[in-house]
């Protein structure tokens, strides 16, 4: 069956409209994403520290989480953010310091 040319144009328009709608509804900026990621890793590292202390997870697992958290921190420090205001930058630096402190606690618990 021959598919009329107009059907493909309509399909193309639908794809573009959907993509446009999705672009419109994606709200998070780069600084927001980085801040979320740092805070999420700080929470992960804190849970891992408690888990190692309580004997729920082995220390070698704590060391793995520590290494991954440290690599996230390193990447965050290297990243150059576009559209970051002074307030964003200050919040990110604060989150980096908080993650670093949590990583130190996990290192002490897991024997890194």
Residue ranges binding another protein (CB under 8 A): 11, 14-15, 18-19, 22-23, 25-28, 33, 36-37, 39-41, 43-44, 46-48, 51, 54-58, 60-61, 63-65, 68, 72
Contact call for residues 85 and 51 (beta carbons, < 8 A): no
In the complex, least distance from residue 66 CB atom to another protein, rounded to whole angstroms: 11
Comparing CB distances to another protein, the nearer of 12 and 89 is 12
Comparing CB distances to another protein, the nearer of 49 and 86 is 49
Contact call for residues 110 and 52 (beta carbons, < 8 A): yes
* Radius of gyration for the chain, computed over Cα atoms and rounded to the nearest angstrom: 22
Round to whole Å and give the CA distance between 82 and 51.
37
Comparing CB distances to another protein, the nearer of 19 and 108 is 19
């Amino acid at each position: 069956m021959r598919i009329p040319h107009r059907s493909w144009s309509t399909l193309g328009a639908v794809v573009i409209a959907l993509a446009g709608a999705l672009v419109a509804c994606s709200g998070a900026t780069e600084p927001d994403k980085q801040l979320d990621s740092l805070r999420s890793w700080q929470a992960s590292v804190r849970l891992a520290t408690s888990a190692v202390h309580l004997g729920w997870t082995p220390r070698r697992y704590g060391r793995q989480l520590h290494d991954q958290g440290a690599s996230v921190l390193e990447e965050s420090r290297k990243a150059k953010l576009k559209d970051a205001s002074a307030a964003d930058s200050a919040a990110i630096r604060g989150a980096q310091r908080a993650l670093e402190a949590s990583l130190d606690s996990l290192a002490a618990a897991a024997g890194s």
